[in-house]
Structure 1
Amino acid sequence: MAAPQARRTEDSTSIRVALIDEADTQLDKSLHRLESFLRFFGFCQYSPVSTILSWLAYAVIGVALPVIAIRFSYCSNCEKYQIRVFELEILTSQLILAAISLLCISHNLRKYGLRNTLFVDRYHGHTIQFRDEYIKKINGFFRVLIVWILPCFLLKTAREVVRVIYLRHDLWWHSVILVLALLVSWTYSIIIYLSGTALFNLACNMQAIHFENYGKLLERDLDVSVYIEEHTRLTHYLSKISHRFRIFLLLEFLVVTASQFISLLQTTGNVGILNIINAGDFVVCSIVEVVGIILCLHAAAKISHRAQGVGSVASRWHAFVTSFSNDASQMGTPTNGGNLEPAYPTCALPISYSESDLESVDYVPMPTNTQLASHASSYHKRQAFVSYVQSNLGGFSVFGWTIDRMLVNTIFFIELSLVFFVLGKTITITTK
């Protein structure tokens, strides 16, 4: 009897090891695909040669190609409708945003590597659940780029086609070359910009996985010091993300804000005719820039909300453990592993994150019977743990400013006030 049982144990162990190896292989493939994508667009500047090639491609495709195309797309009405002036202003903002993204992201990848930038190795070798979530988030990185770049690319293509038809060049191949040059340059710059924001979004989503699963750690009958150590590790890695990406987020936000107000001044202060020919690029540029900032602010606010929500999770866990433990002892229920089901119904404790970003409501199960009967976590230890978590909520911060929903709402109303100020200075209504 012992031999078959040992054989079954050995078989189950081998199957478990095979599943872990397969999951590791899938994660490695996803990370390799992501790194290949970043390497192709010049983010992986691991050597002087790759750095030179990356910035040379940026100078040729991002800068020289559109400038030459704009220079040779002269028409008699270009000066009248300020087409060239508008295009150069839009091109400048796109190039600055792409340069910031390329510079900041390549610095992080060169200094820390892709795995350490995303903190994937931290849970390498643990449960398969984290690796599956990692793969989903990495696939979501490419999905975000496709969802936003493809519609904007179609809109940009339609605008360039209408513009070429309006300019009416004598040679049709001349018009085709100009359209292709502008589309290639625009697509390159936009991919660079959105890839940086999407990678920041991915890094925050990776850590959000662990904050969302922190409540499940409380199900286990562990010492309170383990919970404190895990929470300290989570907040430590969150502070690292804040330190590595704060310059990137701040510069991108400032440049996008300046670009939007310049566009607003140019369109509202212009006394000429505005149409899709001269002002169509303002629409496309604004959509792309705002999408990038939304991705960054959404990710930062989400990870801050998850980190701050741990305090309520811990206090609720402490209240249930304390109350049901006291009820069980008062009713004479044994605390040495006896059955507590009559006094403690099995249900799920809902944790509402009050999401306005269409996130689903997560659930953390109630403490298990073993946890309620455990003498390892006394009331004073649990109270000290809850006090520690509530006083160390953490969150993504930029030079001390925690980016949460309150700060995002403040930024929105400040931007809206500035927009109305500009409109008040540029738009006037005259009455006879």
Structure 2
Amino acid sequence: MEKPSSEQGSREHLIHPEFPPSRFPFLSVVLWFDQSNNPGTALLSWSVFFLLVVGVPIISHFVLVCSDCDFHHRRPYDAVVQLSLSIFAGISFVSLSYWSRKFGMRRFLFLDKLLDVSDKVRIEYEAEIQRSKKRLMIFVLPSLTLEATYRIWWYISGSNQIPYLINPLLSNIIACTLQLSSWLYRNAIFITVCILYQITCHLQILRLNDFARCFASEITDVGVALAEHQKIRRNLRIVSHRFRRFILLSLILVTGTQFMALLTTTRASVAVNIYEVGELALCSLSLVTGVFICLRSATKITHKAQSVTSLAAKWNVCATVDSFENLHDGETPTASNVESQISTCRNEMDPSDDEEGEGDDELDNTKIHPVYANTISYQKRQALVTYLENNKAGITVYGFLVDRSWLHTIFGIELALLLWLLNKTIVNIP
């Protein structure tokens, strides 16, 4: 009895030997926040967090506020910027710390469950993790580049107005480096959690795609298909439960910070120009982007799950309508019967109309190969379709299903607030 389990353990070790970060470059970034094993790493991680998320923003705001500077170098919105970034970085860091201590990053990313999936799903999932570091750079580096450009200009052009300690050049270099490090750290940790959410959602999308392929072939056991769908639903509940607080807090706080920014910039007594509001607009753009990553990943799963239900209903219709009613008991279907069955079910698919419409899901265009009527009974097919229709999979936030209408509403609100803020910024460029 112990031999199979030892063989399975050795197989798991061969697939994911000790979860090496070098295999997945993005995870080396995530493991920097991992506090599950080494207390020294946890102490260092928290120390850096308090330095860059709490210490540097407070010192920067109160020491370098530069209230006596000219209007190009005043920072009236610095409190809103620093508070917004620090709040989201704090939520992200606490969430990562909790997940790493409770689950460990290997289990958190379902890497220990890859033995239960097909080779195609495992390969595509690992490829998605490999691409995540590039995705992180795409979202973080433009923001850092613009912030670095502004900061360097601010220190160079206002060197005779900015407060300093002992040596002005050295003081400005250290202050600029710490501020840029703080900006990078706070943006990166928030976007990192959003990408982690995207990764875990992508695995479930791959499993749904793999599950949907069974309807394009001959299904002989409804119980196997039912068990696989239940596994997927369970994983989706786990993902929803782990991220629900982070998603809800992000939605509430990003909307709150947007309103706070707009109320501040629309005051009649406050001047608005690109030098003063540019950093606030850049901060808002980064936060809205992170929230959009999470919501888009969640809605993709919900849409995919709905496509699977539609595909199952189509499969049931094809198998039912094209049943061999003219066959006697025990009679073997002939080639003409089979050809008639397949052509009848595919008559809506014109070969000249293979081009997919814009925005179509690939599951909607899956070609169905109807099963023989005596392979699987109508009652079993109908039971499976009924189960899928009444047990829809998807990402939820405290019971609310995140679908496209949810995304459109929230994104419309956030985009309106962001565009309003950008309009206040851009139209006042001197």
- After TM superposition, the score normalised by the length of structure 1 is 0.80
Tell me what 1:121 maps to: 112
The answer on 1:215 being equivalent to 2:212 is yes
Tell me the distance in 1 between the aligned counterparts of 2:53 and 2:414: 29
User: Offset of 1:189 from its aligned partner?
Assistant: 0.8
Tell me what 1:37 maps to: 29
Tell me the distance in 2 between the aligned counterparts of 1:46 and 1:352: 52
> Aligned AA for 2:27?
E
Is the 8 Å Cα contact of residues 335 and 374 (structure 1) preserved in structure 2? no
User: Offset of 1:22 from its aligned partner?
Assistant: 8.6
Q: Which moved more, 1:111-120 or 1:286-295?
A: 111-120
Is the 8 Å Cα contact of residues 66 and 73 (structure 2) preserved in structure 1? no
Tell me the distance in 2 between the aligned counterparts of 1:258 and 1:183: 25
Tell me what 2:314 maps to: 316
User: Offset of 1:324 from its aligned partner?
Assistant: 2.6
> Aligned AA for 2:200?
A
Structure 1 residues 337-352: aligned runs within 5 Å:
340-341=338-339, 343-345=341-343
Structure 1 gap segments, 5+ residues each: 1-19, 427-432
Tell me what 2:179 maps to: 182
| 1:76-106 alpha-carbon deviations (Å, 9 max, x no partner) | 5349689444212211111110111111132
Tell me what 1:164 maps to: 155
Tell me what 2:145 maps to: 154
Tell me what 1:429 maps to: none
CA change 1:354–1:265 in 2 (3 A) is farther
Tell me the distance in 2 between the aligned counterparts of 1:352 and 1:395: 28
Tell me the distance in 2 between the aligned counterparts of 1:78 and 1:310: 61
Is the 8 Å Cα contact of residues 89 and 189 (structure 2) preserved in structure 1? yes
Tell me what 1:131 maps to: 122
Aligned residues, how many? 400
| 1:272-314 alpha-carbon deviations (Å, 9 max, x no partner) | 3322332121111011101100001101111111122221011
CA change 1:393–1:30 in 2 (3 A) is farther
Secondary structure class of the residue paired with 1:198: helix
Secondary structure class of the residue paired with 1:273: coil
Secondary structure class of the residue paired with 2:338: coil
Is the 8 Å Cα contact of residues 328 and 340 (structure 1) preserved in structure 2? no
Tell me the distance in 1 between the aligned counterparts of 2:103 and 2:334: 48
Tell me what 2:369 maps to: 367
Tell me what 1:194 maps to: 191
Secondary structure class of the residue paired with 1:271: coil
User: Offset of 1:387 from its aligned partner?
Assistant: 0.7
Q: Which moved more, 1:20-29 or 1:410-419?
A: 20-29
Tell me the distance in 2 between the aligned counterparts of 1:355 and 1:238: 27
Give the RMSD, CA atoms, in angstroms.
3.8
Secondary structure class of the residue paired with 2:68: coil
Q: Which moved more, 1:61-70 or 1:386-395?
A: 61-70
Tell me the distance in 2 between the aligned counterparts of 1:101 and 1:363: 39
Structure 1 residues 268-287: aligned runs within 5 Å:
268-287=266-285
From 33, 49, 57, the equivalent of 1:58 is 49
Tell me the distance in 1 between the aligned counterparts of 2:128 and 2:138: 15
Tell me what 1:9 maps to: none
Is the 8 Å Cα contact of residues 323 and 373 (structure 2) preserved in structure 1? no
Tell me the distance in 1 between the aligned counterparts of 2:354 and 2:399: 28
Q: Which moved more, 1:168-177 or 1:252-261?
A: 168-177
User: Offset of 1:412 from its aligned partner?
Assistant: 4.1
Is the 8 Å Cα contact of residues 300 and 404 (structure 1) preserved in structure 2? yes
Identity %: 28
